[in-house]
Amino acid sequence: MKNAMPLPILTITPHPAIDETVSLPSLRPGAVNVATQARRNAGGKGINVASCLADWGAPVVALGLLGQDNAAAFEALFARKGIADACQRVPGSTRTNIKIVAADTGDTTDINLPGPAVPAAAWQALLQDVRQRAQPGQWALAAGSLPPGLQAEGYAPLLKLLHERGARIALDTSGAALKQALACGVPLALIKPNRHELETLLGRPLPTCTDLREAARGLHAQGVETVVVSLGEQGAFMSSPEGAWLAAPLPVQPVRTCSESGREEQRGGSGWAASRKPQTGLLPGEDLQRGRPPESALLRPRPDSEQVLSTVGAGDAQVAGLLAARHAGLGWQEALRYGVAFATAKLGLAGADSMERQTISALENKVEISEIISAARP
């Protein structure tokens, strides 16, 4: 008897965007800035996740709301990567998000333009399509901000529908949309805020493992099965029914480029290398700054470091890694490894360039995971 084909992962993006990434030697507010490069790519959180999943070879269906006037960029991406296009077309143009990348600091400044208001009929058509597609046990990701016209009710109708269909729901959003989603009472299999987004949600700083664990316990009590918090250059935190872990970041180094004046510039974010020695665990009260090298060390080239071309989309790639692993039947700890590997692989790419499966697999083998142990545990 043949095994049934795995159900595709559904990615749902109510508010996609054309990402216009502008690279500068340095960002000088109030002055004329001359760009060294500009790229335009089909984007939005769920679209980016679908793109990374397709690179890995996972079956994926992209749902969302695309402006019909500039849908061609999305259609080209879907065709190139073999992503099933189930997006609704709405009047007008999909919004543009401008990302300004400064080579000297590696910082990215985001300017998100408003999108068109979504007609009620288009939203209802999207919900009806989700109702017909979602199956029990199928992974479905709702991701990104909400367009004008949907912000009042938020993600609640979509999440309730997915729950009724028995889907495993992942949510990647922030601000009011995240707060509304948690308040609607739908059980969620996964949320993945970054630390700043989680601090904003809870209204308090979260500098230590203790703080993150307490925050995760509160979210578990609200019906969230697994919480993953991206910590930038400090890696990623996960709390799930299987345990709590901290994944150290893989070592990365900025790529040096030349500005118009010929001066060598540093481009890309920085990360710090985890020790290759196995770690016995972290007590929950230990500060996450522990062991962080001085700032000068962050930019020191390492022979085993991955090069950084852009930090744009790394968080979305992390979500894709988590979903790819769970879709393949792996546990949450292994999913955390793949999340870090996907994100690191994305750092070495620009725009919607494809990630190599072989590269991701090699990176996954390097990821160090530390269990966060209870203070009462021997």
Separation between Cα atoms, residue 368 and residue 364, nearest integer Å: 9
65 — pLDDT class (breaks 50, 70, 90): very high
* pLDDT attached to residue 307: 62
Mean of the per-residue pLDDT values for the chain?
84
Q: What is the mean pLDDT of residues 91-116?
A: 89
pLDDT per residue over 20-45, tens digit each?
Answer: 999 999 999 999 999 999 989 999 99
pLDDT per residue over 242-279, tens digit each?
Answer: 899 999 988 876 543 333 333 333 333 333 223 333 33
* pLDDT attached to residue 305: 57
* pLDDT attached to residue 259: 31
Active-site residue flag, 316: yes
Q: Beta strand 17-24 with 37-43: parallel, antiparallel or unpaired?
A: antiparallel
* pLDDT attached to residue 218: 96
Domain boundaries of the chain, sorted by first residue: 9-27+35-371
Separation between Cα atoms, residue 276 and residue 73, nearest integer Å: 42
349 — pLDDT class (breaks 50, 70, 90): confident
Separation between Cα atoms, residue 112 and residue 39, nearest integer Å: 16
* pLDDT attached to residue 273: 29
DSSP one-letter string for 196-219: HHHHHHHTS---BHHHHHHHHHHH
115 — pLDDT class (breaks 50, 70, 90): confident
Sheet holding 108-112, edge to edge: 37-43, 17-24, 96-102, 108-112
* pLDDT attached to residue 351: 61
Separation between Cα atoms, residue 61 and residue 87, nearest integer Å: 9
Residue 308 burial (CB < 10 Å; 0-12/13-18/19+)?
buried
Annotation: CATH topology of 9-27+35-371: UDP-N-acetylmuramoyl-L-alanine:D-glutamate ligase (3.40.1190)
Q: What is the mean pLDDT of residues 321-337?
A: 97
282 — pLDDT class (breaks 50, 70, 90): very low
Q: Which of 19, 172, 211, 316 is catalytic?
A: 316
